[in-house]
Amino acid sequence: MSIDNKTVRKVSKLAKIRINEQEEKKLIEELNNILGWVDELKKVDTEKIEPMLSVFNESMVMRRDEVFSETSDELVLKNAPESKSGFFVVPKVVE
C-alpha cells in the first residue's frame, strides 16, 4: 500500500488541519516510511512466540485503599461565597 496526495488531503481534512504543498510532500514520505516499517514487521516469524499483554512480567504491588483528607470541609467552604449544610450554593442551571 502506498500513500498518495489524495489520501494525505483526506486525512488532513478528517484531522481538521491545514497543510501546504511542502508539508503534504513531507507527510507522504513519512507515512510511506511508516508503512514500509509495518511491512518489514509483517515478515518477522512470530509462530513460536506467545502473545503478551504487557512488557512487564511483574505483578503490581497493591496499596491499601484508605480514605483521608488533608483539608477540612470548613476550610474549603470558607472560600465559598455561599454555603448551606456543608455544601456550596450555586445558581440553578436547569429550568
Question: How much is the pLDDT for 94?
Answer: 83
pLDDT 10s per residue in the chain (95 long)? Answer: 788 999 999 999 999 999 999 999 999 999 999 999 999 999 999 899 888 877 777 777 888 988 887 888 888 898 889 999 989 999 888 87
Using an 8 Å Cβ cutoff, are 31 and 6 in contact? no
Identify residue 75 by its one-letter amino acid code. Answer: L
5-42 carries CATH number 1.20.1420: no
Which pLDDT does position 49 carry in this prediction?
87
Q: What is the pLDDT of residue 27?
A: 92
Look up the pTM and report it: 0.49
Angle at 54 between CA 57 and CA 65, to 5 degrees: 75
Report the DSSP beta bridge partners of residue 88.
Answer: 83
Given a contact cutoff of 8 angstroms between Cβ atoms, the answer to whether 89 and 83 are in contact is: yes
